Structure 1
Amino acid sequence: MKLYNLKNHSEQVNFETAIKLGLGQQQGLFFPVKIPIITPFELSDILKMDFITRSTEILSKFIDNEISKKKIYEYVKKAFSFQKPLKVSINKNISCFELFHGPTLAFKDFGARFMAQMIFSLKKENENFTILTATSGDTGAAVAHAFYKMKNIRVVILYPKGKISFLQEQLFCTLGQNITTISINGSFDDCQNLVKKAFDDKKLKKLIGLNSANSINISRLLAQICYYFEAFSLISEEQQKNLVIAVPCGNFGNLTAGLLAKSIGLPIKSFIACTNANDTVPRFLKNRQWKPKKTISTLSNAMDISQPNNWPRIEELFRRNNWNLNDLRFGSVSDKITKETIKELFKLGYTSEPHAAIAYRLLNDQLKEDEYGLFLGTAHPSKFKDTVENILKNSITLPNEIKCRIDLPLLSHNINPDFNQLKEFLLNK
């Protein structure tokens, strides 16, 4: 599999190198030179496969001969070793596609666990890696649990202090061992900028064997393509004809994966890019001016990102496919409307958390009469227990994945959004 750097097309690498580097020169994202095509005939066969076999087939089309299909199957089986996604009907035309049945109760488990398998399999016997990543809520837990206790791999996770939920924090800041967590006195964008600066420091990168686990890493992105095919396989042929998928967007990796699924032959009619008040992309799609504002805290904290890293990949996909950006549906939802929507869904018999509620709101508002809609459930409502309970005046039962960690002490360090502080920490801790 060949990939090129979006900021410097002459920099081309194979899949293994792209995984290890994370980012290319000038912090450029890697993108496939060749996007495979699945014909309608092949698609019919692929949709009949079980989730693991189908995922192996899709991933092997990208990775090609670099890793054998047999090995990909082994990695996928280990990575996706939890309950597969569920489709839950809300009404006649809308369902939630729940992606939060993994070990950290978030959709991030798919990409993080596949990436962990890839990195560990590519690592030489005594080679040491430092995985540095930033999280706005769910990535941290997924990455931490995916790499937990892996030999010679240190994981360092940055997160904005006081801006993720208590239960999100408990899930990954209580592990210890090879997992180090640092709360940053700032926003997620500050955390992400620190990660970028670390990757720009060639000496540091070499000294600690630096790698990234954000959705900028191509292995995570490819893994996420797989569940879009699962979603498609769970709906009727009639519903497949006019399928619209609403995606809660933070760093825009999830939407990128969906658009890649469409690119290779999954006939999804349309996507809705759903954001909260941090609406850089909706405003850009309206007036074609990229003007990020200061990130503000909302109920849907995993989407509190003003400078989404994956957006250049989406623009590249539209350019490569000769698609029109005007065809991408979009919208943003305030906290007030998010609360009202959580209540509305509860009356319909469904308990939602803020991120999925935003996707449902925009899907419900924009869905046409002849269309069928799926909105992605990206996190279990229990991860936002206090928020949801306050809105619904109804208690939520905690799953065992969270319950077993709730009373454990936090092991996090704390620093300012200062690169020199982070660099010193990475070299000396």
Structure 2
Amino acid sequence: MKLYNLKEKSEQVNFSQAIKLGLGKKQGLFFPTKLPIINDTLLSEMLSMNFITRSSKILSLFIGDEIPEQQIQQSVQNAFHCSIPKIQYVQNNIACFELFHGPTLAFKDFGARFMAQILSYLNHKNEVITILTATSGDTGAAVAHAFYNMQNVRVIILYPKGKISEYQEKLFCTLGKNITTIAIEGSFDDCQTLVKQAFNDTELKKERGLNSANSINISRLLAQICYYFEAFSLISKQQRKNLIISIPCGNFGNLTAGLLAKSIGLPIKSFIAATNANDTVPKFLETGIWKPNKTISTLSNAMDISQPNNWPRVEEIFRINNWDLKSLGFGSVSDNITIQTLQNLDNLGYISEPHAAIAYKLLSEKIKDNEFGLFLGTAHPAKFKQSVENILKKTITLPQSLSKRINLPLLSHNMKPNFHKLRQFLLKK
């Protein structure tokens, strides 16, 4: 598999290099030089496979002979076996595609765990690797648990202090050992900027063997493609004919993966990019002007991102396919409407959380009578227990993965958004 740097197209790397580098020169994202194509016959065969077998096949088509197919299958088995997605119907023509049945109760488990498996396989020399990443809530837990206790891997996670839920924080800031967490006194965008500065520091990057596990890492994106095929396999042939998928968007990795699935042959009719008040992309699609505002804190904190990293990949997918960006559905939802939507979903018999509620709201507004819609359930409602309980006046039972951590002490360091201080910390670590 060959990939090129979107900011400097002369820089080309293979899959292994792309995973290890994370970002290319000028902090450019890597993108495949050629996408595999799945024809109707192969698609039909694949839809009859189970989730693990099909996912292994999809990833092998991308990666090629760079990693043996048997190894890819083993990595997929280790990464995905405990995270099988489910579909829950909310209305006759709308269902939630639940991606939160993994170890950290969020869709990020798929990409983070696959990346950990592949990186472990590729580290033949047992070199010490430092995973440095930023999280707006769910990535941190997924990455921490994926790499927890892994030999020769250190993980350092930055997150905005006081701006993720207590339950999100407890999932990954109580682990210790090879997992270090830093609460940054700022926004997620501040955390993301610090990570980018670290990767731009050639000496630091080399000295600490820095790698990123954000959705900017191509291995995470490829893993996410797989569950779109699973969604397609779980619905009827009639529902497949006019399938609309609404995605709660933060860093836009999930949308990128869905668009890649469509690019290689999954016949999804269209997508909706759903955001909260941090609406840089909806405004851009409406006006053609890219003008990120200061990040606003919302109920859907994992989407509190004003400068989404994966947007250049989205634009590249539309460019290479000659698709019109105007065909992408979009919209933003305020906290007040999110609250109303959660209550509406509860009245329909479905308990959700703020991120999925935003995706549902826009889907319910835009879907047509002859279409079938899926909205992505990206996190378990228990991760937002306090806000969901306050809104619905109901008690949310904690899954075991959360209940066993809730009384553990936080092990996080506190830091201002100062790169010099972060650099010193990383060099001492």
What is the CA-CA distance between 1:83 and the residue it aligns to?
A: 3.9
2:153 equivalent in structure 1: 153
1:158-190 Cα deviation digits (max 9, x unpaired): 000000000000000000000000000000000
Q: Which moved more, 1:117-126 or 1:343-352?
A: 117-126
Give yes or no for the alignment of 1:351 onto 2:354.
no
Aligned length: 429
1:295 equivalent in structure 2: 295
Give, as a single letter, the amino acid of the residue that structure 2 aligns with 1:400.
Q
1:35-80 Cα deviation digits (max 9, x unpaired): 1100011100000000000000000000011011111000000011
Distance in structure 2 (CA, Å) of the matches to 1:41 and 1:118: 29
What is the CA-CA distance between 1:124 and the residue it aligns to?
A: 2.7
Distance in structure 1 (CA, Å) of the matches to 2:128 and 2:84: 32
1:15 equivalent in structure 2: 15
1:371-399 Cα deviation digits (max 9, x unpaired): 00000000000000000000001110000
1:142 equivalent in structure 2: 142
Q: What SS does the corresponding residue of 1:64 show, helix, strand or coil? A: helix
1:220 equivalent in structure 2: 220
1:256 equivalent in structure 2: 256
Give, as a single letter, the amino acid of the residue that structure 1 aligns with 2:28.
G
- Gapped runs of 5+ residues in structure 2? none
Give, as a single letter, the amino acid of the residue that structure 2 aligns with 1:376.
L
1:164 equivalent in structure 2: 164
Give, as a single letter, the amino acid of the residue that structure 1 aligns with 2:398.
L
Distance in structure 2 (CA, Å) of the matches to 1:83 and 1:375: 18
Q: What SS does the corresponding residue of 1:323 show, helix, strand or coil? A: coil
1:321 equivalent in structure 2: 321
Matched ranges for 1:50-199 at <5 A: 50-199=50-199
Q: What SS does the corresponding residue of 1:104 show, helix, strand or coil? A: coil
Q: What SS does the corresponding residue of 1:96 show, helix, strand or coil? A: strand
Give yes or no for the alignment of 1:203 onto 2:203.
yes
Q: What SS does the corresponding residue of 2:11 show, helix, strand or coil? A: strand
Give, as a single letter, the amino acid of the residue that structure 2 aligns with 1:313.
R
Distance in structure 1 (CA, Å) of the matches to 2:211 and 2:158: 14
2:361 equivalent in structure 1: 361
2:391 equivalent in structure 1: 391
Give, as a single letter, the amino acid of the residue that structure 2 aligns with 1:398.
L
Distance in structure 2 (CA, Å) of the matches to 1:124 and 1:244: 43
What is the CA-CA distance between 1:212 and the residue it aligns to?
A: 0.1
Matched residues, percent identical? 71
Q: What SS does the corresponding residue of 2:158 show, helix, strand or coil? A: strand
Q: What SS does the corresponding residue of 2:82 show, helix, strand or coil? A: coil
Distance in structure 2 (CA, Å) of the matches to 1:126 and 1:247: 38
2:419 equivalent in structure 1: 419
Distance in structure 2 (CA, Å) of the matches to 1:112 and 1:416: 27
Distance in structure 2 (CA, Å) of the matches to 1:28 and 1:83: 31
- Gapped runs of 5+ residues in structure 1? none
Q: What SS does the corresponding residue of 2:9 show, helix, strand or coil? A: strand
Q: After the TM superposition, which parts of structure 1 deviate over 6 Å for at least 4 consecutive aligned residues?
A: none
